[in-house]
Each structure stands twice: as structure tokens, then as C-alpha cells.
Amino acid sequence: MIITDIEKIGRYRYLVRFEDGCRCVFDEKQIREMNIEEGKDMSLEDRDKYFKDVLLPRAKEYILRTLTSSDKTVAQLKTGLKRKYMPDVIIEEAVECIDRYGYIDDVRFAVNYIESRKNSKSREYIRHSLSSKGIDPQVIAELMQDYDKELEIPLIEKKIISFFKGKKEISRKDMDKLAASLLRQGFDQTNVYNCVYNKDIVKNM
């Protein structure tokens, strides 16, 4: 496999690109010991051995270290490994290996995420955030089905009270500003308008 490019990306680290589009990181010692040079040919056997002996353990270590600090989705872990220039084959193998021990669970992540944010974030915010973290849309739909938009109303009311706290007079402009803010946060439009422009709620603050 022809080495097409060698780029220095750190004091002792080099990003090596191959003709098949694969790229991975070698340190200075490995570059020297393996006689890696631009334009030279590296056998698939040698590259695969490097993948297995060096990159795979490194990828698994990264996953375990990352999960120690906080739970992560499969997509988040893969993104982190890609940023470290891990080859796709190593990313898949490392994730699959760690997943066998039950350390990675997207459903568990989503359940915990919803529970920790349902009293502070809108239904749409949670849905969008889970999607951006790589959670399967069907999983999100199933977990969110019990989180009806009507459950947002107490949270909206709480935000209204917080927003107007200390104000002696509340103008229409203030209400419009709050409504716009709540809509940007993903709250249901009908609920926002019914709560923000509800005189009884404002009166009882």
C-alpha cells in the first residue's frame, strides 16, 4: 500500500495517508523503525499488524477513558475516534469490543438524558439534542411518547415567573420578548401563547 503523504501534526506525531484513502497516526519512533517514507510501499500485512497491535488497544483505551468521565452514545464515541484519525475498521472493532461488555448503551443514555432534562428543557429541545448525539429516531420516538407536550406547561409557567420576577409593570413588549425566547427554546407554540398571555398567571406572580 503506497504512502501518499506524511503530515506532522504534533511534536512527535505524524499523520500518514495511504493510496486507498486510509489515514492514521504514527509517532516519530514508529516512523523511524518502520522506515515509513512518502512514496514507499507498506504491505497490508504490516499495516494490519500496526492497526491490531497499536491502534486497536489505543482506541479501546480512549473509549473506556471517555466513558469513565461520562456516558456517551455510539455516535459520540465514533466521532471522538475519528478526530484522533483512527481508521474506520479500528473504530468499528473497538466500539463493538467494548459494547460486548455492556458499557455502551444508547437507550440507557437516552433514558437518563430525558430524565435529567425533562424538568428544565422543552420536549423539542430534548428530541433535537438526542438526535444530534446519534440516537436512533425510533428510539427517541418511543421514549418520548409519554412526554406529552402538556407536561411542558408547568415548566413554561415556572420560566414566566422567573422572567417577570421583580418587575412592577409588565408590558406587551415584555410578553412578546418572553414568548419569542420560549419558542426559540423549542416549547410548543400553543402552550407558550396560552401561558405567556394568560392574565391569571401574570396576576398571581
Q: Which of 150, 202, 154 is nearest to 174 (CA)?
A: 202
Regarding pTM above 0.85, the answer is no
* Long-range Cβ contacts of 157-160 (<8 Å, 24+ apart): 157/195, 157/201, 160/195, 160/196, 160/201, 160/202, 160/205
Domain map (residue ranges) of the chain: 1-42, 44-104, 106-147, 150-203
Low-confidence ranges of the chain (pLDDT < 50): none
Tell me what pLDDT residue 200 has.
58
Specify whether the CB–CB gap between 99 and 59 falls below 8 A.
no
Tell me what pLDDT residue 68 has.
93
Tell me what pLDDT residue 78 has.
97
